[in-house]
Amino acid sequence: MYDILIKNGLIVDGSGKPAFYGDLAVKDGKIAKIAPSIQESADEVMDASGLQVAPGFIDNHSHSDSSVFTGSDSYNYLEQGVTTQVAGQCGSSPAPYSETELADAKAKLDPEEFACWAAKAQTPTTFMKAAEEQTFGTNMAFFIGQGSLREKALGYSDAAPTKEQMDIMQKDLIEAMEAGYLGVSSGLVYAPSVYASTEELIELVKVMKPYGGIYASHIRGEGDNVLRSVQEAIRIGEEGGAPVLISHLKVMGKHNEGTSQKLLKEIDDANARGTTVWADQYPYTASSAPLSSQIPPKYLVGGIPVLLERLKNPEIRQQILYSIFHEVNEFESAIYSAGFDGTLIVGASKTPEYVNKTIGQIAREEGKEPIDALCDVLLANDASMQGVYFNQCASDLLRIMAHPRVFLGSDWSDYPDSKVDYEQAGGGHPRGTASTVRRLELVRDFRLRTLEDSVKNLTYDTAQAMGIPEHGLLKEGWDANVCVFDYDRLHATADFAHPYRQSQGIHYVLVNGKLAVRDGKALGVRAGKVLKRK
């Protein structure tokens, strides 16, 4: 007897081969049998008539690292059909212990509980051990953050590392690779990651070569400077001996429309000459990042407390304003391409009245200059705020999405197990609840690729690229990570006004053989496990 039997579905197995009608049986967490018809009995039988049966989708760019401390049922990912998340992106990870990364937790938790968090985050090894002891709704894999490596060695200094400081970073990276991390990520618009030179990053990446580690990068610029930033990432991989993953590839600034053609050519040319390059992408034309990260990094030298003091100075405020709009070659803020009226506040715990308002709107309501409104809201929230920046063109988004070496990445994180109100107004980004469904929907509606190729891109191609073993295919003997969905009716209902709305078209999701979603609703099951690079 099987545990679960899925009958009469159109099986899209992740290989890219033509879909076929058949049944799929699950036993003891594994795919036990795939056949045109399975007659044996099962504890639960699901009728998938009129539906597609595919491997669970892989979100290649998440920020759910803190779930290692809290555990999570990952409901917002499961309800999109995601069964695996790849976290530790954009140069940011809790380990090795980062005071900045855990600053919010330190402010909210009692000292004893925070001490437990800090102990788990001390080293890559302690973090991975804690992850393996935790429970998750989805499978989890991790990158180590170069920003966290640098913070441990140099703090928030913009100086070049000494040999001793480089040795510290390299030693921690080697430990991470031996612990099972996929590679190292950089966030070259975020302090302290941004302070690293190209040459420093090359030297750091070199130590991963014996392990086959990947260099993932939130590149230095995604608008006026995006081409040379992609070229820098590729150079780091070439000279450092590592495959490259360019994070959330995009073109910011409507005046840069069409630049995606040049970016994709750079990726194709690099692969043609033997340097492996991929990218990930979220399917929205608005980006999102902490508001403080859009202040030019020279004002963050010394850390957030120093920044807050600087923001009080009227002269420095004017310098920041000038730098954002006139020193783009030095640092490209998302505010530059979005403008103050395109910069939306979606997270401000100490001033919730500002949520779902733009900086321009706040400035007009309070009779202030936009730069003063920006600095004042940052001060009121101790610089802990999240912004959304409307700054991209649909044509570039679709062109990037159609490229076979571009994977899905929501660039978001697990929501708490106590589900938010699906109809809550504002306060988030729809990519947290709908990235996978929206990507499938856009690929379908714009006929960017076939169903089989679309599923392969979201599953097997991603798993192979990241070195995640035995994932991304419906194959007998492999872990039963399965999504059953209605391709024709997939629809992402979440938007910027209602970012938590549940998507349509996802019916069932299995994680390691356990039913985690029924009729589109997550069941609170935590059947995920930690996945390590093979």
pLDDT value of residue 104: 81
pLDDT one-digit tens code per residue, 434-446:
999 999 999 999 9
Token pair for 13 = 């197995």
Quick one: pLDDT band at residue 66, thresholds 50, 70, 90?
Answer: very high
pLDDT one-digit tens code per residue, 197-238:
999 999 999 999 999 999 999 999 999 999 999 999 999 999
Quick one: pLDDT band at residue 416, thresholds 50, 70, 90?
Answer: confident
Q: Are 119 and 129 in contact (CB under 8 A)?
A: no
Average pLDDT, integer, range 3-22: 98
Q: Are 388 and 294 in contact (CB under 8 A)?
A: no
pLDDT value of residue 420: 79
pLDDT value of residue 363: 98
Q: What angle do CA 136, 142, 148 make, to 5 degrees?
A: 120
The owner of tokens 């076939």 is 450
- % of the chain exceeding 90 in pLDDT: 94
Domains and CATH numbers, the chain: 65-285+392-469 (3.20.20.140), 289-390 (no CATH)
pLDDT value of residue 417: 78
pLDDT one-digit tens code per residue, 265-279:
999 999 999 999 999
Count helices and strands in the chain by DSSP H and E runs:
19, 22
The owner of tokens 């001793």 is 164
Query: If you average pLDDT over every residue of the chain, what do you get?
Result: 96
The owner of tokens 């912004």 is 387
Average pLDDT, integer, range 302-327: 96
Average pLDDT, integer, range 93-115: 87
pLDDT value of residue 107: 83
pLDDT value of residue 260: 98
Residue 342 confidence (pLDDT) above 80: yes
Q: What angle do CA 108, 113, 116 make, to 5 degrees?
A: 125
Q: Which amino acid is at 509?
A: V
pLDDT value of residue 499: 95
Bridge-based pairing state of the strands 357-358 and 52-55: unpaired
* Cα 484 from Cα 468, distance rounded (Å): 22
pLDDT value of residue 98: 81
Contacts of 4 by beta carbon, 8 Å cutoff, 6+ apart? 25, 26, 42, 43, 44, 45, 46, 480, 510, 513, 515
pLDDT value of residue 427: 86
The owner of tokens 């100490």 is 350
Quick one: pLDDT band at residue 91, thresholds 50, 70, 90?
Answer: very high
Contacts of 315 by beta carbon, 8 Å cutoff, 6+ apart? none
pLDDT value of residue 442: 98
Quick one: pLDDT band at residue 103, thresholds 50, 70, 90?
Answer: confident
* Cα 321 from Cα 311, distance rounded (Å): 11
**Closest to 178 (Cα-Cα) out of 215, 145, 208, 148:** 208
pLDDT value of residue 101: 81
* Cα 74 from Cα 54, distance rounded (Å): 19
pLDDT value of residue 106: 85
Quick one: pLDDT band at residue 507, thresholds 50, 70, 90?
Answer: very high
Residue 419 confidence (pLDDT) above 80: no
pLDDT one-digit tens code per residue, 344-403:
999 999 999 999 999 999 999 999 999 999 999 999 999 999 999 999 999 999 999 999
pLDDT value of residue 108: 84
Quick one: pLDDT band at residue 299, thresholds 50, 70, 90?
Answer: very high
pLDDT value of residue 534: 81
Residue 160 confidence (pLDDT) above 80: yes
Average pLDDT, integer, range 499-506: 96
Residue 520 confidence (pLDDT) above 90: yes
pLDDT value of residue 364: 98
At 146, is the secondary structure helix, strand, or coil? helix
